Structure 1
Amino acid sequence: MNCPVGQSRTDQHSSDKLFFSYQQMEPVSLPPLSRVAICGGTHGNEMSGVYMVKELQKQKADQTGSVSVTTVLTNPRAVDACRRYIEIDLNRCFTDALLSAPVTDSTPYELRRARELNAQLGPKGSPEAVDLLCDIHNTTANMGMCLIFYSLDWITLHIYKYIKSKMTSTPVRAIQLDIPNSEAYSLESVGKHGFAIEVGPQPNGVVRADIFNMVREAVDLTKEWLQAFNSGNTFAGGEVEAYTLVRSVDYPRDPTTSDITAAIHPQLQDNDFKLLRPGNPTFLSFSGETVKHEGDELYPFFVNECAYYEKKIAFHLARKITLTFPSVSVKKD
């Protein structure tokens, strides 16, 4: 995930910013992407990834043409317990600092497991790391199909463009977290290239056929693109829209007990990625009062995500941007 950053512009200020069109960008040749990891169960109660990995293992789908596929059930103890995690959130354990910290008798299980995964699929930032790592997640929020990534690189953006052009069953969006790879905390950052598939709504501990089929289609399209890339196809440059995180919003809370005092307002619930304007309702207090959005026009996502209550996050707010990238092809020997 160390490729050059794509050119970008925001939806609100695009006319004021100078950017290069993809027609002006030089074509890029990159090495073949032959080693791919498909992971699930990083959160043990997000069932689409769990069953996608088990199905791939059952099919012994470890080779697709030029692509060698490694499938990993990443947090097996949490999967067995059908819990998000056992001691700490595994998907926050992959920063350089945590991966290099000393292991002691008191080191939580998930930190130890992160070391094992880094050794198996990385090491992070090294030439030995898998070429692409795809980690599958579910959300209880109404987000459809999302690809989440850190550093912008041409491979990730081309795969996103390809999936978006082929999938018709649900909206497909991209979320970019502007965090250096050394501080990137989730599993997909271990690969040379990587992204998380986040799809919902789906309750924790539940598998839904429609959601599972979206995941399967995205995984199949990813492998299809990789095979075509390795076979010598040139993929034209282009532009895609994405959402970049601005800030997180907590629930209103009692200043003494810290208990929440309001729920997501019905007009915001299930409206992920719908533009939130000043004055729009965000919360409805348990006493019946409406709390309204203040500040810039932004896009909410992960609205009322179940797992984020413990993180004191009611929803994230993002800005929409346009990412521009060049044509890519495999580097010839």
Structure 2
Amino acid sequence: MYWKKNGAPCKMELITLPALRRMAVCGGTHGNELTGVFVVPELERQRREKGDAVWPISLTTVLSNPRAIKECKRYVEMDLNRCFTSTILSSPITDSTPYEMQRAQELNSLLGPKGTGDATDIICDLHNTTANMGLTVISYSHSNWICLHIFKYLKAKITTVPVRLMLLDIPDSDAYSLESIAKYGISLEAGPQPQGVVRADVFNFMKEGVDAVLDWIKIFNSGKVIEGGEVEAYIVEKSVDYPRDPETQRPSAAIHPQLQDQDFCLLKRGDPMFLTFSGETVRYEAEEPLHPVFINEAAYYEKGIAFHLTQKKLFTIPSIQAKKD
């Protein structure tokens, strides 16, 4: 296999991987992120209308947190999307166990068990953000070739919004979100969209993303060689909190207007970050330029996060092909 780098042909490695047999599309892991809450029933409607043969893979659709969806809240007792660590999934259930911990174990039984050969091949978990993130693919591994190839395909196919890749540098055993149950898990993060609201444009590009994932699986499972190449990813380095009042610990500033909605921009030394409520500008002081993401995300106020800072890196991924049965 060959691909061109700076105009020169280079020999690329070809990796064979098992065909993908089982997939889950999950929505409502956060109950007030409504795009997934509506995409999942739409997929179920398509199944009723056209039958299972409409999909290139055995597809399970799940509304992950039904109680939170009913109440249109992010969660009932604790954040479900932080409940999929190996420790929580193996914890005994008692009368005092929070609902989301119980639900995480139910989902692990349905879609996993996590870290075993019986786990679902791929989970696509659908999320919304109030930040200006377009369509962002989130994955854990730098060498998860299936997920990186899916991102490469989505970036080429979807032109209505920017498509970007964010990688979390976390060991598999510490991976905490729902998609980590699968052998190959991705989260699709779509925004900006307010909590408790569904926007048609965001619904449309999220559904386009899910359809593109299914299209890619069909191509992969056909046995066709999928060419490698370079992909650009944003690696999370650290989080930044709001300036806070030393007495009340409440935020004493908001995101600066010049930074608001500029997710994935390059933040350089001296650039404005916050505007205090007394009118003073707080600037970025670090020497290393980094890229902020999830800027002013509503759900992160309780977590003490104004935005994450990421480093942009270029990865070379190999060509892949599904093993023949």
Q: Structure 2-normalised TM-score? A: 0.94
Return the offset for 1:25.
4.1
The residue type equivalent to 2:304 in the other structure is: K
Residues 64, 223 of structure 1: 8 Å contact kept:
no
Residues 55, 214 of structure 2: 8 Å contact kept:
no
- What pairs with 1:164-313 in structure 2 (closer than 5 Å)? 164-295=155-286, 296-313=288-305
The residue type equivalent to 2:323 in the other structure is: K
Question: 2-side partners of 1:204 and 1:89: how far apart?
Answer: 15
Q: Does 1:30 align with 2:17?
A: yes
Question: 1-side partners of 2:251 and 2:207: how far apart?
Answer: 37
Correspondence for 2:317: 325
Report percent identity of matched pairs.
Answer: 59
Structure 1 consecutive aligned stretches of length 4 or more whose deviation exceeds 3 Å: 21-25, 61-66
Correspondence for 1:86: 76
Correspondence for 2:108: 118
Residues 64, 227 of structure 1: 8 Å contact kept:
no
Question: 2-side partners of 1:22 and 1:315: how far apart?
Answer: 40
In structure 2, stretches of 5+ residues that fail to align are 1-7
- What pairs with 1:1-150 in structure 2 (closer than 5 Å)? 23-60=10-47, 62-150=52-140
The DSSP-based 3-state class of the residue aligned with 2:216 is helix
Question: 1-side partners of 2:147 and 2:52: how far apart?
Answer: 21
The DSSP-based 3-state class of the residue aligned with 1:59 is helix
**Alignment deviations for residues 28-83 of structure 1 (CA, whole Å, 9 cap, x no partner):** 11111010100000000001000000111122264445411100000000000000
Return the offset for 1:194.
0.8
Task: Please say which of residues 257-266 and 58-67 is displaced more in the overlay.
Answer: 58-67
The number of equivalent residue pairs is: 313
The residue type equivalent to 1:192 in the other structure is: K
Task: Please say which of residues 300-309 and 57-66 is displaced more in the overlay.
Answer: 57-66
Residues 240, 322 of structure 1: 8 Å contact kept:
yes
Correspondence for 1:6: none
Q: Structure 1-normalised TM-score? A: 0.92
Residues 29, 63 of structure 2: 8 Å contact kept:
yes
In structure 1, stretches of 5+ residues that fail to align are 1-20
Return the offset for 1:275.
0.3
Q: CA RMSD in A?
A: 1.3
The residue type equivalent to 1:233 in the other structure is: K
The structure whose RCO (Cα within 8 Å, separation 6+) is larger is 1
The residue type equivalent to 1:105 in the other structure is: D
